Structure 1
């Protein structure tokens, strides 16, 4: 770990961070939930793309971490330099094609993401999930159409 710890002899090391160097930081949590046996195959398919993100970081991706939510529910936490970098990645290959294909056929799985901007704004999308999670457990439901169609529109609302 970089930085200086406040630990003295016999204490647990503690550090904090100063994210002020990233005024446009965006944190995204993503999840992929297997809902049928067919979804297991879909999960294995996206694994290739996720491995590529770890090997060749897209421009603007500061950190990519894998998160295990449960036996049939995996996810990621990503830190992006700014919303523009995140948006450029989502509109490029292979993400663009995966997202389009998933929208047509979720293949026995569900997907969600929640995005949080340091400068303000939060947004989320949930597709084909068996029960609400995250914001969907308490916030008013809104169809992703019109002014809520894209992540950019939702995060600015």
Structure 2
């Protein structure tokens, strides 16, 4: 279990970054084999990316929601994210082709989705209270809240006159 850091902490990351959410939904749970294909592809992709930090993935974490698994990813740039997705030598490309062959968009056994958000430098805010290093703090630095501001607005860089 990760070491809990007492008190209030925040994240600090230099420059712009991308938050990429990707998940799947089991529309017809009895099609376990098809769902397993989609579920097994992500660990291979993440292993590949962790072994190649120059590809741009800063951190990834898995969560299980009421509709299925979700992976939260932090990327250095949208260009690096898209380059990985299109690279025929990287594991995303064969997984994407396999998905289209096995399931595609005309067989609703398993749903997939993704969202990406480009975050400008400093245009974010986070707070971790009595938590281990988590989320964006794992992609960047885990710093005491006082370093960036005691309020959410201060951590976003908003001054009192702008509020």
User: Quick one: structure 1 residues 16 and 37, their matched pair in 2 at CA, closer, same or farther if it must change by over 3 Å?
Assistant: closer
Is the 1:31–1:113 contact (alpha carbons within 8 Å) kept by the matching residues of 2? yes
Question: Counterpart of 1:37 in 2: which secondary structure?
Answer: coil
TM-score, normalised to structure 1, is: 0.58
- How many Å apart are 1:54 and its aligned residue? 3.3
CA distance in 2, matches of 1:24, 1:106: 38
1:45 aligned residue (37, 43, 57): 37
Q: Which residue of 1 aligns with 2:71?
A: 76
Deviations, residues 6-30 of structure 1 (Å, cap 9, x unaligned): xxxxxx42211112x1x23000111
CA distance in 2, matches of 1:97, 1:53: 10
Aligned residues: 109
1:36 and 2:32 are equivalent in the alignment: no
Higher relative contact order (CA 8 A, sep 6+): 2
TM-score, normalised to structure 2, is: 0.56
CA distance in 2, matches of 1:106, 1:63: 32
CA distance in 1, matches of 2:42, 2:8: 31
Is the 1:33–1:109 contact (alpha carbons within 8 Å) kept by the matching residues of 2? yes
> Mind listing any 5+ residue stretches in structure 2 that lack a counterpart?
122-163
Aligned alpha-carbon RMSD (Å): 2.7
- 1:114-133 paired onto structure 2 within 5 Å: 114-119=115-120
The structure number with the bigger radius of gyration is: 2
Query: 4+ runs of 1 displaced by more than 4 Å?
Result: 104-107
- How many Å apart are 1:112 and its aligned residue? 1.0
- 1:1-157 paired onto structure 2 within 5 Å: 12-19=6-13, 21=14, 23-37=15-29, 39-57=31-49, 58=52, 59-70=55-66, 72-92=67-87, 93-100=90-97, 101=100, 102-106=103-107, 108-119=109-120
Give the structure with the higher percent strand.
2
